[in-house]
Amino acid sequence: MGTDNAKFALYEQFAQVGKVLGNPLRLMLLDLLAQAERSVEELAAASGGTVGNTSAQLKALRQVGMVAARRAGNRIYYRVAGQDVSALLTALTTVAGQHTADVDRAARAYLGDIEALEPIDAGELRHRLDTGQAVVIDVRPEIEYAAGHIPTARSLPLPELISRLGELPADTEIVAYCRGPYCVYAPQAVRLLTGHGLPARPLRGGLPEWRLARFPVVRTPKETPAA
């Protein structure tokens, strides 16, 4: 095989990953798996797809090595194959957001005007936490909080927020975060909180920005069954 042919064959392998990523449901599944390990059934429920279709998309992702799986009893649990997969997803959405006008329009239609909520950067949030000037809440589902969250963050999943407002201070700024810059949970939480008279802002970029700043992330230890 000539050099040109060998190079083409190499890039053809790279293209396989690009082809697999050219599917919105697969990107949604990767986004969910970047937060926490899940079963097919859990992924289908979270993404709004059927179990059969979700399973087919996971098979395609496994074929190019982007997700890994383990069996526990009758269920198979999936996870991203590595942090580099999560980084690739972040890079893809960042590039699309910076260079594709339709992304901005679609994001505003889905998320609303984020800048009007005065998002706070990761560095500023860490300073405020260190000096006791902010309370941070994680509004993702509990399974995602347990898999990794900002130290001192309180788990307040969005569906529970309205019933747990009494747990939050009225005199300290509240910072809400979720899965990333295109996650709707934190903006919705901030609008709900401010609508009830509580000072609140979203974390710009969500947990991914916190990780990119190399700030600590902690897991919730699993409880050991009593003997």
pLDDT in tens, 27-63: 999 999 999 999 999 999 999 999 999 999 999 999 9
pLDDT at 226: 44
Q: Does residue 221 form part of some domain?
A: no
* Full residue range of the structural domain in which residue 124 is found: 108-212
Bridge partners, 134 (sequence order): 173
Domain CATH number, residue 69: 1.10.10.10
On the question of pLDDT at 225 being above 90, the answer is no
Residue 64 lies in a domain: yes
Residue 40 domain-assigned (yes or no): yes
Q: Mapping DSSP to helix (H, G, I), strand (E, B) and coil, where does residue 26 land?
A: helix
**CATH number for the domain including 204?**
3.40.250.10
Helix (H, G, I), strand (E, B) or coil at 136: strand
Q: Is residue 159 part of a domain?
A: yes
Do 132 and 166 belong to one domain?
yes
From 52, 85, 118, give the residue that closes a domain.
85
Contact 151, 218 (CB under 8 A): yes
| 150-176 mean pLDDT | 96
The predicted model scores a pTM of 0.88
Question: What whole-number distance in Å separates Cα of residue 202 and Cα of residue 157?
Answer: 14
**114 and 55 in one domain?**
no
Residue 98 lies in a domain: no
- Judgement on whether residues 130 and 206 belong to the same structural domain of the protein: yes
Last residue of a domain, one of 85, 120, 138: 85
Helix H or strand E encompassing 188: helix 185-195
Q: Residue type at 3? A: T
| Residue range 88-126, pLDDT digits in tens | 999 999 999 999 989 999 999 999 999 999 999 999 999
Q: Do 15 and 47 reside in the same domain of the chain?
A: yes
Active site residues: 178
Q: Is the pLDDT of residue 80 over 50?
A: yes
Q: Please count the structural domains in the chain.
A: 2
